[in-house]
Structure 1
Amino acid sequence: MSDTADHGTLVAPLETIVREAGALALAAIRDPIKSWYKGKGQDQPVSEVDLAVDRLLKERLGPLLPDAGWLSEETEDDPARLGCDRLWVVDPIDGTRGFIAGKPDWTISVALVEHDRPVLAALLAPVTDEMFVAVAGRGATRNGVPIRVAPAADASDAGLFAGAAVAGPPRLLERFAAATAGVVPVPKVHSLALRIARVAHGRIHVAFASKDSHDWDLAAADLLVHEAAGTLTTVAGDTIRYNRPVPRHEALVAADPARHRAARDIVAQLARTSR
Structure 2
Amino acid sequence: MPATDLPLLIDAVRMAGRVATSFVGKSAKRWDKPDGAGPVTEADLAVNDLLQQVLLRSRPDYGWLSEETEDGTVRLGHDRVFIVDPIDGTRSFTEGANTWAHAIAVAEHGEVTAAVVYLPLRNLLYTASRGGGAQLNGVPIMASGNDTLSKSSILAAKPVMAGTVWREGVCPPFTPAYRPSLAYRLGLVAQAKFDAMLTLRPSWEWDIAAGALIVAEAGGTVTNQRGAPLRFNSADPRLDGVVAGGNAIHTAVMDALA
TM norm structure 2: 0.94
Q: Deviations over 1:213-232 (max 9, x none)?
A: 11101110110011001011
Aligned residue number for residue 195 of structure 1: 185
Answer yes or no: is 1:184 the counterpart of 2:175: yes
Superposition pairs for residues 15-164 of structure 1, below 5 Å? Answer: 15-29=10-24, 32-41=27-36, 43-152=37-146, 155=147, 160-164=148-152
Alpha-carbon distance, 1:208 to partner: 0.7
Residue 167 of structure 1 contacts residue 173 of structure 1 at CA under 8 Å; is this kept in 2?
no
Rounded Cα–Cα distance in structure 2 between residues aligned with 1:234 and 1:167: 15
Q: 2:234 aligns with which of 244, 267, 273?
A: 244
Q: Which amino acid aligns with 1:29?
A: V
Residue 233 of structure 1 contacts residue 252 of structure 1 at CA under 8 Å; is this kept in 2?
yes
Q: SS at the partner of 2:159? A: helix
Q: Which amino acid aligns with 2:9?
A: L
Residue 187 of structure 2 contacts residue 215 of structure 2 at CA under 8 Å; is this kept in 1?
yes
Q: Deviations over 1:181-228 (max 9, x none)?
A: 3x2111x31111111111111001110123221110111011001100
Q: Deviations over 1:114-170 (max 9, x none)?
A: 000100001101110100100001100000000110111xx4xxxx12431111121
Q: SS at the partner of 1:127? A: coil
Q: SS at the partner of 2:257? A: helix
Rounded Cα–Cα distance in structure 2 between residues aligned with 1:172 and 1:211: 9
Q: 2:7 aligns with which of 3, 12, 36?
A: 12
Alpha-carbon distance, 1:29 to partner: 1.7
Answer yes or no: is 1:172 the counterpart of 2:160: yes
Alpha-carbon distance, 1:31 to partner: 7.0
Q: Deviations over 1:9-42 (max 9, x none)?
A: 232232111101001111112771110111323x
Further displaced range: 120-129 or 31-40 = 31-40
Alpha-carbon distance, 1:255 to partner: 0.9
Q: Which amino acid aligns with 2:50?
A: L
Q: Which runs of 4+ in 1 moved over 4 A?
A: 174-178
Answer yes or no: is 1:262 the counterpart of 2:252: yes
Residue 64 of structure 2 contacts residue 82 of structure 2 at CA under 8 Å; is this kept in 1?
yes
Residue 69 of structure 1 contacts residue 81 of structure 1 at CA under 8 Å; is this kept in 2?
yes
Residue 166 of structure 1 contacts residue 173 of structure 1 at CA under 8 Å; is this kept in 2?
no
Residue 169 of structure 1 contacts residue 210 of structure 1 at CA under 8 Å; is this kept in 2?
no
**% identity of equivalent residues:** 37
Rounded Cα–Cα distance in structure 2 between residues aligned with 1:168 and 1:257: 18
Find the structure with the greater CA-based Rg. 1
Structure 2 gaps of 5+ residues are none
Total equivalences in the alignment: 254
Residue 102 of structure 2 contacts residue 117 of structure 2 at CA under 8 Å; is this kept in 1?
yes
Q: Which amino acid aligns with 1:100?
A: T
Structure 1 gaps of 5+ residues are 1-5, 269-275
Aligned residue number for residue 216 of structure 1: 206
Aligned residue number for residue 205 of structure 1: 195
Alpha-carbon distance, 1:78 to partner: 2.5
CA RMSD of aligned residues (A): 1.7
Q: SS at the partner of 1:40? A: helix
Q: Which amino acid aligns with 2:33?
A: K
Q: Compared with structure 1, are the counterparts of its residues 30 and 200 closer, same or farther at alpha carbon in structure 2 (3 Å cutoff)?
A: closer
Rounded Cα–Cα distance in structure 2 between residues aligned with 1:59 and 1:31: 26
